[in-house]
């Protein structure tokens, strides 16, 4: 596979994509880029001698949300990716890439028999939605300061443990915990400053 060519194809394929009324196609493109980097970084930490699948892991991450918003975006995305990439990948490469895309929403952290590439992708995808980019997600959902404050204080915390339980690897959980700690600190400061107060001087 020529990753340079496929990355250009991937960017062009997101031309009409929108995940949210306020979201440009480049937001979802950047998410897919980050998931690819995260997946490889996790692979290096967890499976340091498993680099022969890095291209598969990378391309699957680039295309995993190509049909986000569809009722079953995993299967729809796999079908769309197969159509787009058929000129650029071998049949086996396509099968491996599309398997990850098709199954990435189907999380089963208790099943250690699932292929490592799928489990790495799932953790990378989930981790990208927390930490620094958590604030961006919140802003998309609540455009007012009061709405964002309510989201950070009352809505987001409801799902912290649920999402943590969906991670496959212990190191992913440690990374997640660090991201959650950052968001707690961010939320504390945001709550103070959103009321016109000075953080640390109350």
pLDDT in tens, 61-104: 999 998 877 788 899 999 999 999 999 999 999 999 999 999 99
Residues 179 and 140 in one domain: yes
Residue 19 has pLDDT above 60, yes or no: no
Measured distance CA(58)–CA(151) in Å, rounded: 32
DSSP, residue by residue, 38-81: HHHHHHHHH-TT-GGGHHHHHHHHHHTTTTBTBTTHHHHHHHHH
Residues 105 and 139 in one domain: no
18 contacts: CB under 8 Å, gap ≥ 6:
25, 69
Looking at the structure, do residues 69 and 143 belong to the same domain, yes or no? no
The answer, yes or no, to whether residue 17 has pLDDT greater than 80, is no
The structural domain count of the chain equals 2
Provide the residue range defining the domain that includes 151.
132-193
Highest mean pLDDT among 17-31, 105-119, 148-162: 105-119
The verdict on 22 and 100 lying in the same domain is yes
Per-residue model confidence (pLDDT) at position 194: 83
Work out the burial of residue 49: count CB atoms within 10 Å of its CB; fewer than 13 is exposed, 13-18 middle, 19 or more buried: exposed
Whether 139 has a pLDDT exceeding 70, the answer reads: no
Query: What is the CATH number for 69?
Result: 1.10.472
Asked whether residue 26 carries a pLDDT value surpassing 80, the answer given is: no
pLDDT confidence of residue 63: 94
Q: Is the pLDDT of residue 125 over 60?
A: yes
């Amino acid at each position: 596979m020529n990753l340079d060519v496929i990355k250009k194809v991937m960017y062009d394929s997101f031309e009409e994509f929108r995940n949210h009324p306020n979201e440009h196609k480049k937001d979802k493109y950047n998410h897919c880029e980050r998931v690819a980097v995260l997946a490889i970084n996790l692979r290096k930490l967890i499976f340091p001698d498993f680099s022969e699948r890095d291209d598969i892991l990378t391309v699957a991450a680039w295309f995993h949300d190509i049909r986000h918003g569809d009722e079953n975006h995993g299967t729809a995305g796999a079908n769309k990716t197969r159509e787009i990439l058929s000129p650029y990948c071998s049949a086996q490469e396509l099968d491996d890439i599309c398997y990850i895309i098709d199954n990435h929403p189907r999380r089963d952290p208790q099943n250690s028999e699932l292929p490592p590439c799928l489990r790495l992708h799932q953790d990378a995808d989930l981790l990208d939605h927390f930490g620094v980019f958590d604030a961006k997600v919140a802003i998309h959902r609540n455009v007012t300061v009061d709405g964002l404050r309510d989201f950070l204080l009352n809505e987001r915390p409801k799902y912290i443990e649920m999402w943590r339980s969906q991670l496959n690897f212990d190191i992913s959980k440690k990374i997640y915990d660090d991201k959650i700690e950052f968001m707690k600190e961010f939320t504390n400061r945001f709550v103070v400053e959103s009321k016109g107060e000075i953080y640390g001087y109350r």
